[in-house]
């Protein structure tokens, strides 16, 4: 009698695209990029822009989330430091 292999069972190779975890990471990165671009666009329409290195912004976000401190007040304070007039 042949043994049935369940989906995701150890030893079974993944077929049909990237694993769900990678898709979650990619979708999170896309959402972050879209929100960052939207914020910058809104500021430019109103005569300002964001002047920030991508690494610094990423570090702030990841560290704040890791410390469970990613709140509106911290985001507003950090954005205020990076906003410049056009």
Q: What ranges do the domains of the chain cover?
A: 20-85
pLDDT digits (tens, 9 = 90+) for 62-79: 888 888 887 888 888 888
pLDDT digits (tens, 9 = 90+) for 1-58: 555 545 555 555 556 666 777 777 677 777 777 888 898 899 999 999 989 888 888 8
pLDDT of residue 65: 80
Those residues whose C-beta lies under 8 Å from the C-beta of residue 50, and which sit 6 or more positions away, are 36, 39, 40, 43, 79, 82, 83, 84
């Amino acid at each position: 009698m042949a043994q049935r292999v369940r989906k995701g069972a150890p030893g079974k190779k993944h077929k049909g695209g990237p694993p769900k975890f990678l898709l979650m990471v990619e979708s999170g990165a896309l959402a972050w990029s879209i929100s960052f671009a939207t914020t910058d666009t809104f500021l430019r329409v109103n005569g300002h822009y964001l002047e920030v290195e991508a690494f610094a912004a990423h570090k702030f976000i990841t560290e704040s989330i890791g410390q469970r401190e990613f709140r509106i007040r911290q985001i507003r304070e950090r954005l205020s430091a990076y906003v410049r007039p056009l």
